[in-house]
Chain A
Amino acid sequence: AQSVTQPDIHITVSEGASLELRCNYSYGATPYLFWYVQSPGQGLQLLLKYFSGDTLVQGIKGFEAEFKRSQSSFNLRKPSVHWSDAAEYFCAVGSSYGNKLVFGAGTILRVKS
């Protein structure tokens, strides 16, 4: 069965600083990987996804993520954080034949000015 670990519950960065949110997954075959963002009182919005091909994927709002099979990781990055990026971020794993996505516990991002 798939599982996802997001080791950091909270992260605080200064506005304009770079950001990296960690995600590790457990899955025996090639995973389908996703990052979602949830603003307070809102549903989850897809930032980016990885299915195959180039291991560096670009998403919306200036985010990118890199799939590293050897480390079972799919970390999310942004070179310069804006105050509006403060939200909760969820990593999720699926598969080519599975019926569901499994989500990590989320990382809360705080941005200080």
Chain B
Amino acid sequence: DTAVSQTPKYLVTQMGNDKSIKCEQNLGHDTMYWYKQDSKKFLKIMFSYNNKELIINETVPNRFSPKSPDKAHLNLHINSLELGDSAVYFCASSQGRGGNSPLHFGNGTRLTVT
């Protein structure tokens, strides 16, 4: 009974392609996030949605577009993939707006761009 699930687990694609990653949480949380973990394991927030409203949009290329159809889902679409987009992308959720609530993470999507 996975709390935060994201698909796919692995994604291998070529430069220039467009791909999507999906995330769903069954915890009833109000806030969802996308984090990027680079090859040095550094975790950086990309986006955050609270009740379907975008509340964090860090300095991310506009090739990345998040979409939250409802508060249990947050998807990430990436256009025109580049080599530098290769990373592990984590979805997370929290009850509060993020600074004062523990995050619950999915198991990550390893994106490899060739």
Interface: A96 (CB within 8 A): yes
> B99, A43: Cβ atoms under 8 Å?
no
A-B pair number, CB within 8 angstroms: 70
> A41, B100: Cβ atoms under 8 Å?
no
Interface: B103 (CB within 8 A): yes
B: contact size bracket:
20 to 34
Q: Which of B11-19, B61-69, B76-84, B105-113 contacts A (4 or more CB under 8 A)?
A: B105-113
Q: Chain A residue with minimal CB distance to B97?
A: A99
The smallest beta-carbon distance between A20 and chain B, in angstroms, is 20
How many residues on chain A are close to B (CB under 8 Å)?
Answer: 26
Could you show 8 A-B contacts with beta carbons less than 8 Å apart?
A: A36-B105, A43-B4, A44-B92, A95-B99, A96-B100, A100-B45, A100-B99, A101-B99
Name B's A-contacting residues (CB within 8 A). 4, 33, 40-45, 48, 55-56, 90, 92, 97-108
